[in-house]
């Protein structure tokens, strides 16, 4: 067995170089470390010291705020995951239903965007940022933000479809309701999400993890604040990156508002798949 592993290692060095072998060994070691961490966390009691700065808010329908008057530019950031039909529905809903018109859409992607999308949305408000594999949600979002021109960012899933016309105004309204608000999160108004929010509001800090849907929900933040906090942590590959950002912003003294709302609906009702390594890393970062 040892000879077999040695042969594999020598073959890898010969074909791809010693750096590739060193990276694979490092990656395997990290995986084992966090796998043990995740196991240790299963039965432990964890609390987060800054959880009191997560506030629930009701997002109600408001008339368009005349003071905004489309003055502030919003950069809507999407990560394309390869479902062209879903991306088309998402883009169509943003462009045709938004009463706030001063926005751009930036799409981060690891796969080719089909000609149908490119031909249909040949507009100045659409930018496509192609990212090199391997897949990394955080790096793709950060790369897209680097090309953003807006004063505000909205991180949105390409599986979300806008249903309320003044959704951007609603986010602005909540973001400007208090001076210390750093992030506004709109969660889908499904029965499961409502239950998760209620659990989180009961005061048990560990239950905030139930809001993992933040990772693929609608989130508004000032571009300056996103950049100041170094964007998303690229060690989170597929999940927990957005909520980790919220925790860091909360730790700095800003308030994070979250709410269930009908600003948008999920195009697919598939259950959110949580990367266990991301979960272990998140718990390792934020245990008290």
DSSP 3-state percent helix, strand, coil across the chain (nearest 5) = 45, 20, 35
Tokens of residue 13, six digits: 């060095």
In this structure, is residue 172 part of a structural domain? yes
pLDDT, residue 41, reads 47
CB 219 within 8 A of CB 261: no
In terms of Cα–Cα distance, which of 158, 140, 144, 136 is closest to 239? 136
3-class SS of residue 129: strand
pLDDT band of 204, cuts 50, 70, 90: very low
Average pLDDT, the chain: 76
In terms of Cα–Cα distance, which of 98, 169, 96, 84 is closest to 107? 84
In this structure, is residue 15 part of a structural domain? no
Q: How large is the angle between the packed helices 18-41 and 2-16, nearest 10 degrees?
A: 120
In this structure, is residue 24 part of a structural domain? no
What is the residue whose two structure tokens read 């100045």?
A: 124
Cβ atoms within 10 Å of 46's Cβ, excluding its own: 12
CB 254 within 8 A of CB 53: yes
Q: Which run of H or of E encompasses 218? A: strand 218-222
What residues contact residue 63 under an 8 Å CB cut-off, 6+ apart? 166
CB 136 within 8 A of CB 239: no
Torsion of CA 200, 205, 206, 208, to 10 degrees: 40
Name residue 218's beta-bridge partners. Answer: 186
pLDDT, residue 129, reads 93
In this structure, is residue 104 part of a structural domain? yes
- 145-178 pLDDT, tens per residue? 999 999 999 999 888 889 888 999 989 888 877 7
CB 210 within 8 A of CB 283: no
82 versus 270: which is more confidently predicted?
Answer: 82
In this structure, is residue 158 part of a structural domain? yes
In this structure, is residue 182 part of a structural domain? yes
- Over residues 181-192, mean pLDDT: 74
Report the CATH number at residue 232: 3.90.550.10
In this structure, is residue 32 part of a structural domain? no
Residue 85 backbone dihedrals phi, psi, to 5 degrees: -65, -40
- 209-266 pLDDT, tens per residue? 555 556 667 899 999 999 999 999 998 988 889 888 988 888 888 888 877 777 888 7
pLDDT band of 93, cuts 50, 70, 90: very high
Residue 266 backbone dihedrals phi, psi, to 5 degrees: -80, 130
Q: Which domain does 105 fall in, by range?
A: 51-286
Report the distance separating Cα 175 and Cα 72, nearest Å: 13
State the DSSP string of 165-217.
Answer: TTHHHHHHHHHTSSTTEEEEEEEE--HHHHHHHHHHHTT-GGGGGGGGGGGGS
Say how many domains are in the chain.
1
Least confident window among 49-53, 160-164, 260-264, 280-284: 49-53
In this structure, is residue 14 part of a structural domain? no
pLDDT band of 2, cuts 50, 70, 90: very low
Least confident window among 9-18, 120-129, 145-154, 229-238: 9-18
């Amino acid at each position: 067995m040892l000879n077999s592993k040695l042969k594999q290692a020598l073959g890898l060095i010969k074909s791809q170089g010693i750096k590739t072998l060193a990276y694979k060994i490092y990656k395997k070691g990290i995986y084992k470390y966090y796998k043990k961490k995740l196991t240790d966390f299963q039965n432990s009691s964890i609390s987060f010291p800054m959880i009191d700065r997560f506030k629930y808010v009701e997002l109600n329908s408001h008339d368009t705020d005349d003071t905004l008057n489309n003055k502030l530019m919003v950069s809507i950031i999407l990560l394309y995951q390869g479902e062209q039909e879903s991306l088309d529905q998402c883009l169509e809903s943003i462009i045709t239903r938004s009463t706030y018109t001063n926005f751009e859409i930036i799409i981060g992607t690891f796969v080719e965007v089909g000609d149908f999308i490119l031909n249909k949305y040949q507009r100045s408000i659409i930018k496509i940022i192609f990212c090199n594999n391997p897949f990394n949600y955080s790096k793709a979002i950060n790369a897209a933000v680097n090309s953003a021109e807006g004063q505000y960012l909205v991180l949105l899933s390409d599986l979300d479809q806008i249903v309320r016309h003044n959704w951007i105004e609603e986010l602005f309204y909540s973001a400007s309701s208090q001076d210390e608000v750093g992030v506004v999160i709109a969660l889908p108004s499904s029965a499961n999400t409502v239950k998760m929010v209620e659990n989180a509001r009961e005061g048990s800090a560990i239950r905030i993890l139930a809001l993992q849907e933040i990772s693929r929900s609608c989130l508004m933040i000032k571009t300056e604040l996103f950049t100041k906090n170094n964007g998303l942590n690229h060690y989170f590959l597929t999940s927990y990156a957005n909520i980790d950002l919220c925790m860091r912003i909360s730790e700095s003294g800003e308030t994070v508002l979250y709410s269930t709302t009908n600003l948008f609906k999920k195009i697919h009702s598939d259950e959110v798949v949580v990367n266990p390594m991301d979960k272990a890393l998140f718990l390792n970062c934020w245990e008290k």
